[in-house]
Amino acid sequence: MAADTGSYIKHHLTNWSVSVGEGSFWTLHVDTLGWSIFLGLIFLLTFRSVAKKATTGVPGKLQCAVEMIVEFVDKSVKETFHGKNSLIAPLSLTIFVWILLMNAMDWVPVDLIPTIAQAIGGAMGVDPEHVYIKSVPTTDMNMTFALSLGVFFLIIFYSIKIKGLGGFVKELTLQPFNHPAFIPVNFILESVTLLARPVSLALRLFGNLYAGELIFILIATIGLFQLPVHFLWAAFHLLVIPLQAFIFMMLTIVYLSLAHEDH
């Protein structure tokens, strides 16, 4: 029984992977790419449709929901970001909604999508035991690091653009101790602080969602009594899922605001 439970958990935590080229160490997680692109398209098409059909009269429920999200993100940017950059608000909206949608896949029953995938694989002549699929992209560290590295590159880009290359170098070498003798110490401290930003962004999102998904899988192994426990944990996730999207968005705004400080 323990062996069956272990293989069940391992199967649910394994990505659908495809190696790129013979003997290549590059491996694509097809399920992570597929679900993230699919959910990104849902976000873009939904918001585009609402924008095209927006009316000044009494808004529909969908338009009202979209307007609430846009106003919430816009208010967060205005209160936190102290520079001038028209990219920050759209970027923050994209990060918040996209991560929220990816996190929300955690509410889908853990056996539903894998069972459908195994049925399709079996119909195509593939052994169902060799069909793997994970439907929550943010439980894949590759996805969370891709998001955080994108933010990190923007931090570096705007730090150099606003401060200049010399100003950026001085920021790394003359803080917090403004004396030439402390340049090596300053560089180590500031480099660690800078590199910790994408790492903390990625690991925080991954850790919370991976742990949540693992608990859903463990709940599914208890059999007949799983439904009450499942609904209790799902109710708790009503807070966790949007909170993690909000934290990622707010930290992105804070980091980019710091990058725009030119003093």
User: Which are the catalytic amino acids?
Assistant: 200, 204, 208
Can you tell me whether residue 160 is helix, strand or coil?
helix
Q: How far apart, in whole angstroms, are the C-alpha atoms of residue 171 and residue 165?
A: 10
Which residues are registered as beta bridge partners of 29? Answer: 17
Can you tell me whether residue 18 is helix, strand or coil?
strand
Q: How far apart, in whole angstroms, are the C-alpha atoms of residue 221 and residue 24?
A: 36
Sort 161 into a burial class: Cβ within 10 Å, 0-12 / 13-18 / 19+. Answer: middle
* Beta-strand runs (E) in 151-221: none
Nearest to 206 by CA among 134, 151, 132, 145: 145
